[in-house]
Amino acid sequence: MTEQVLPDPQAARAADAEARALTMGERLLDAGQAGPVWRVTRGVFRLERLSDEGWSFVQLALPGDLIGVEALCTQAYAFGATAVVDSEAVPLTLESDALRHQVLADAFLQQQRRSAEAVRLRSGTVASRVDHFLATLAHATGVITQRVRDCDLPYLRDIALIVDSAPESVCRAMGSLVAPRTRARPARRKLSPSLA
């Protein structure tokens, strides 16, 4: 009896399906929509749900993660997905039962990892939450440096939503964690000869 080898779920792409590149803040999908399962190929997405109070953070989706796995059960998306930084995702074509089962198993294991990650992003001091978010972002985007530059960061309000804090508290915490922005000094104005 030979062992059955399941197809690689990352290879599950439609021949004509193109990766979708999104800029920071752009939405990949909305809760309630129907569509394919997506795999994150670059960047970070924030999964969120809409409540009476507005958008609520659920968890992050990192490279290799699946988004919209409800589609495997012919359900509408439960959460919206927004690019935290410039990101990319590709829709999966799941033509065989074996591939659907493998993607479902991957989604189950991913959910356990991301749930633990969400707890870490929302527990402890604001500084520890922001530090963990920056480390996660650096690892996910490949920008692993001692100090992340602020031009590589998402919007302050988005970080605050992810770490469950006020933007002002996040700003204070980031003061010691993020390298200062290098600003070009404005050129000195020369006085016109008539004014000198």
Q: pLDDT, tens digit, for every residue of 75-123?
A: 999 999 999 999 999 999 888 888 888 898 899 889 889 988 899 999 9
Q: Give 159's pLDDT tier (boundaries 50, 70, 90).
A: very high
The confidence score (pLDDT) of residue 15 equals 36
Task: Output Rg (C-alpha) for the chain, integer angstroms.
Answer: 21
**Is the model's pLDDT at 5 over the cut of 70?**
no
| pLDDT single digits (tens) 110-133 | 988 998 889 999 999 999 999 999
* Residue 11 confidence (pLDDT): 44
Domains of the chain, with CATH numbers?
Answer: 10-96 (2.60.120.10), 126-178 (no CATH)
Cα distance between residue 81 and residue 28, in whole Å = 5
Torsion of CA 160, 165, 168, 169, to 10 degrees: -120
